Amino acid sequence: MALCAHPGHSGERAGQKYSLVDCGIVFEHLVLAACALKLGTCWTGVFAEDRIKKDFGIPEPWRVVALSPLGYPDQDPSPRPRKNLREMVFAGCWGNEIDPLNEGDRE
């Protein structure tokens, strides 16, 4: 799969191109849908964009944001270790630890 974005379709705010944000949301939905169907995917961000655009006939000004294979995996690897939510979720301001599962810590 080739994930493509039109730079002018989503606009920009504070220097952030929302076409890339939109692509991230779309791709995550695709990954979750594929997983539900027992299909495997893998976000790939290193590729020769000019070659991909030529091979697939992708016109300007569209940009290739990511690629992914899609198919039935031949193995079922163990899940990778995940960060603790306390490393990523804060209360009120950056660095204020909370227990996201404890109702008393919510504001």
> pLDDT digits over 39-51, tens only?
999 999 999 999 9
Q: Enumerate the domain spans of the chain.
A: 2-74, 77-107
**Per-residue confidence (pLDDT) for residue 107, from 0 to 100:** 44
Q: How many CB atoms lie within 10 A of CB 22?
A: 16
Percent with pLDDT over 70 in the chain:
92
Handedness of CA 17, 23, 25, 26 (dihedral sign): positive
- Report whether the peptide linkage leading into residue 7 is cis, meaning its omega lies within 30 degrees of zero: no
- Structure confidence at residue 55 as a pLDDT band (50, 70, 90): very high
Encoded tokens for 29: 């939905």
Q: Which CATH architecture describes the domain 2-74? A: 3-Layer(aba) Sandwich (3.40)
> pLDDT digits over 20-45, tens only?
889 999 999 999 999 999 999 999 99
Q: How far apart, in Å, are the Cα atoms of 105 and each of 23, 25, 87, 90, 94? A: 33, 28, 15, 10, 15
> The whole model's pTM is what?
0.72
Phi, psi of 43 (to 5 degrees): -60, 125
- Tell me how many degrees the CA angle 74-81-22 measures, rounded to the nearest 5: 80
